[in-house]
Amino acid sequence: MKGEKILSLQNLTMNYGIKNVLTGIDLDVFQGQIIGYIGPNGAGKSTTVKIMLGLIDGYGGKVEVFGQDIASGDPSYKRRIGYVPENAEAYDNLTASEYLIFTGELYGMDRALAEEKAIKLLHEFDLGEVIHARLSSFSKGMKQKVLIISSLLHDPDLLFLDEPLSGLDANSMMIIQEILSQLAAQGKTIFYSSHIMDLVEKISNRIVLLVNGKVVADGSFEELQERSKEGSLAQIFNQLTGFTEHKNIAERFVTIVQEGNGNA
């Protein structure tokens, strides 16, 4: 039941100086998939996403998005992509509506339509009061919502989300989860990275685990479970990344914290 091939990475490598960040990634993504892209800190998740978006160049290998090699220099493929960056980076001195109109227009939307949709979407996210307030006065969660709207405003076919839920409260998280699965059901492809394993387990239909710049596991949650004989994704994650020491580390950590406390 695989649809059209949306994304294809062939032997993708990337190095900063002598440090190899990605050491050969092969990955094909098909329409309608929700891919949870997980891995320990520094595994190269954000780098992969940034390469696919054209934010970083100088990579090795081949990247095809919607069947087009992104090295060809034609940016049109980006029109069908939405992106939420990590750490909610945006032009904070603009108001929510100004920022959304600006990014919407950049993706080729008509100004009036961008404004109309932005305002409607902001209201849905309970941000109706602050439409014309500057992003700099927003809390992290509010800003995250604006960036999520910004990534969806132009109705993209492919979504890249880098830690999309950071800063959101539990209710908002549920809304976003539901939005993602409904979008996927309508044939959108979603590629997101997160450290919240419960969530990845719940909403992804395919999980890709990256360790040291290499894909070490790729499949549905059930497939991963079968392979590793572990119960939860967090445990699978521990096992596949070769990490079994959390108790020992914690113990040592606490001991060190208490060191030299005699005179305090």
Partner 1 sequence: MHDFRSLRFLALFRGLFTKFGIDFDAMQKILQVKLTMDERRVPTIFQGNNKKKEGNHFLKSLWVYGLYGLILIPFILLGENYIFQMGIVFAMVMFIVMTSMISDFSSVLLDIRDKNILDTKPISGRTLSAAKMMHVGIYMTYVTGAFAVLPLIISVFKHGPLFGLTFLAGLLFTMLFIVVLTALLYLFVLRFFDGERLKDIINYVQILLSVGVIVGYQVFIRSFEFIDLDVVYSFAWWHFAIPPLWFGALFEVVLHQNYSTYMIGFALLAVIVPIISIYCYARLMPAFERNLEKLLSDTRKRKKKWNGLDELWAKVICRGNEERIFFRFAALMMKQEREFKLKVYPGLGMGLVFPFIFIFNELRDKTITEVSLGKSFLFIYFCNLLIPTIIHMLQFSGNYKGGWIFKAAPIQQLSSIYSGTLKAFLVKLYVPVFLLLSIAFTWTFGVRIIPDLFAILLVGIVQSLITYKLINNETFPFSRSFEFAQSTGGAKIIISSLLIGVFVIAHLLLGAVKFGLYVYIAILFVAVVVGWRVVFPKRRTTVKW
Spatial strand order in the sheet of 5-16: 19-30, 5-16, 60-65, 68-69
Closer Cβ to partner 1, 32 or 85, answer by number: 85
Cα distances (angstroms) measured from residue 160 to each of 81, 105, 258: 7, 19, 43
Q: CB of residue 230 vs partner 1: minimum separation in angstroms?
A: 35
Closer Cβ to partner 1, 81 or 168, answer by number: 81
Residues ≥6 apart with Cβ < 8 Å to 196 = 165
Q: Which of 143, 147, 131 is nearest to 82 (CA)?
A: 147
Please state at what angle helix 221-228 crosses helix 233-240, rounded to 10 degrees.
Answer: 60
Closer Cβ to partner 1, 139 or 255, answer by number: 139
Q: CB of residue 82 vs partner 1: minimum separation in angstroms?
A: 9
Closer Cβ to partner 1, 75 or 260, answer by number: 75
Q: CB of residue 173 vs partner 1: minimum separation in angstroms?
A: 24
Q: CB of residue 184 vs partner 1: minimum separation in angstroms?
A: 21
Q: Is residue 153 within 8 Å of 6, Cβ to Cβ?
A: no
Cα–Cα distance, 196 to 193 (Å, whole number): 9
Give DSSP secondary structure letters for 93-141.
TSBHHHHHHHHHHHTT--HHHHHHHHHHHHHHTT-GGGTTSBGGGS-HH
What residues line the site for partner 1 (CB under 8 A)? 16-17, 19, 53-57, 71-79, 81, 83, 85, 87, 89-95, 97-98, 102-103, 105-108, 129-134, 137
Pull the structure tokens for residue 31.
Answer: 């329409």
Closer Cβ to partner 1, 93 or 220, answer by number: 93
Please state at what angle helix 170-185 crosses helix 140-152, rounded to 10 degrees.
Answer: 10
Q: CB of residue 50 vs partner 1: minimum separation in angstroms?
A: 8
Closer Cβ to partner 1, 81 or 217, answer by number: 81
